[in-house]
Structure formats: structure tokens, C-alpha cells
Amino acid sequence: MSNILISNDDGIFALGVRTLADTLAQAGHQVTVVCPDRERSATGHGLTLHQPIRAKEVDSVFNDNVVAWSCSGTPADCVKFALSAVLKNRPDVVYSGINHGPNLGTDVLYSGTVSAAMEGVLEGIPSVAFSLASFSGVEFQPAADFALKLLEKLAEKNYPKPPLLSINVPPVESSKIAGVLITRQGLRRYIEKFEQRLDPRGKSYYWLEGEIVEDIEQPEDGNLPPHILTDVQAIRELYITITPLQYNLTDAEIVKHLYEQDLFS
């Protein structure tokens, strides 16, 4: 039996987190859920520093064996709060999601789902962000079933360091999923614009909107074999994608370039 902490960015009442938590609890695992009290998508790794965080236990939403808390903070706040103020014992793993919508390519830079998982790995805990690669699909069970199977893999493997995994699941029934691939981070860009609107008092405001542009030509990563697909490519082929991430953003290539060019001496 594993001790699992679950958070998300879609909020405590989202179907994705309920499906994930209930599936794990029904399998006999110890599950604690601490999620934002409302949707906090695209908040990245933001923290609440200038106002109080309010939290309360939630009943009648999850399986009876799930301990659940609602938190006024961001996804990263929720994991910090859970580890410091809710859990008596350190969890074996932190799960985040299941997000309603993909977190592919550069989406991970903005994702509250990924940031909640990253907060776990910052504390040395294996952590996984799960996303259903569709905003319209609502069948979260295949992703939850995969999350259950993954627990065994996380326990079996002797990782060199606690992993941070971003997993995207195709929005299809289990029988149509092509398989599971280890992938690298791809590109997922947007044509963005701010639409100007007027409120009822005639004052203008702006609403960010955009259209996704998924680059067909993905840049190669010199540190990885060329046959490893990006998450963007693999999800199109209906694979579950597992993309290992890290919070160290040092660009080794530019570091070497600056040293070789001796630009700042």
C-alpha cells in the first residue's frame, strides 16, 4: 500500500481528481487530496505570499477512505500546505491531476498541474503530473488506471534521483491507446491576441485568446537518441506519453558557448 498525496489545478470538485483519487483508494492505497478551492489553471509555480491561505476539510465528494482538503491557494501552495500542515507521514509519491486538457511541449512552463508535481520533487518525492489530452473529453478512467499501474513501476525502479514525470493520456477508450512511450518535450506554440471588450460600465478590458500552433519540425536534442519522439508527436499517434522533466533550467549549451567565446572577460 502506498501513501499518496494528490493535488491539481482544476479545483477540488473536478472530475479528473475525483476519478484519480477514488481509483487509488478503491485499490487499497492511502490517499490524501489537497486541491485549490476553484480552478487555478495556468498559474505556473505561483505562491500566495501577500494574503492568508484558508483551508478546510471536504466531505461527500470522494470515496469514504479519501481524506480531502480544499485550499484557497495555488497548486504549489496546496502541496506545500499538505506536506507541512496536513500529512503526518511523508507521502511515497505526489500525483497531480488528472488535468482536463493537455500539458504538452511548452505548456509545462505555465501548467499548475505540472507545478504541483514539481513542488513534490523539490522535496525529494517522486512526482507525476497526469493530463487528459482533451478539453472536451471527460473519460478520465484510462488515465486513472494507468496511474494505478504506475505506482508499481515507481516502487520497483531504483531511480538515480526522484523523478518528475509529465504524463499525457489520449482521450480515447483503453482499447484504442497505441501503447506507452518515453518522450521528450516538444513545441506547442500559440498565435496569441488580446481581444478588447467593454464591461457594463463602458470601461475596456482585455481577454487573452489564442490558436494552437504545433510545430511539425521538432528540434533535435543532442543529449538524446534521435528516435525518441516528442510528446506532441506521440500523442497524435494515440500513445500515452511519459516525459521526464527537471526544475534545473540551466542551458548547458549556452554555458559552454559563453566560456568558449570568452564574451564577458
Q: What is the pLDDT of residue 217?
A: 54
Q: What is the mean pLDDT of the chain?
A: 92
Q: What is the pLDDT of residue 214?
A: 60
Residue 265 above 70 pLDDT? no
Residue 253: pLDDT band by 50, 70, 90 thresholds? confident
Instruction: Round to whole Å and give the CA distance between 98 and 81.
Output: 20
Report the amino acid identity of residue 242: I
C-alpha cell at 123: 522535496
Share of the chain above pLDDT 70, in %: 96
CA distances to 21, 29, 46, 212 from 77, in Å: 19, 24, 8, 29
Query: Could you give the domains of the chain?
Result: 3-183+220-254 (3.40.1210.10)
Q: Is 126 exposed, middle or buried (0-12, 13-18, 19+ CB in 10 A)?
A: buried
Instruction: Round to whole Å and give the CA distance between 233 and 215.
Output: 9
Which residues, including other chains, have CB under 8 Å from residue 10's CB and lie 6 or more apart?
A: 16, 17, 35, 39, 41, 99, 100, 113
pLDDT tens by residue, 21-74? 999 999 999 999 999 999 998 888 999 999 999 999 999 899 999 999 999 999
Report the amino acid identity of residue 1: M
CA 104 to chain centre: 10
Residue of 6, 231, 223, 245 lying closest to 122 (CA atoms): 245
pLDDT tens by residue, 173-194? 999 999 999 999 988 777 778 8
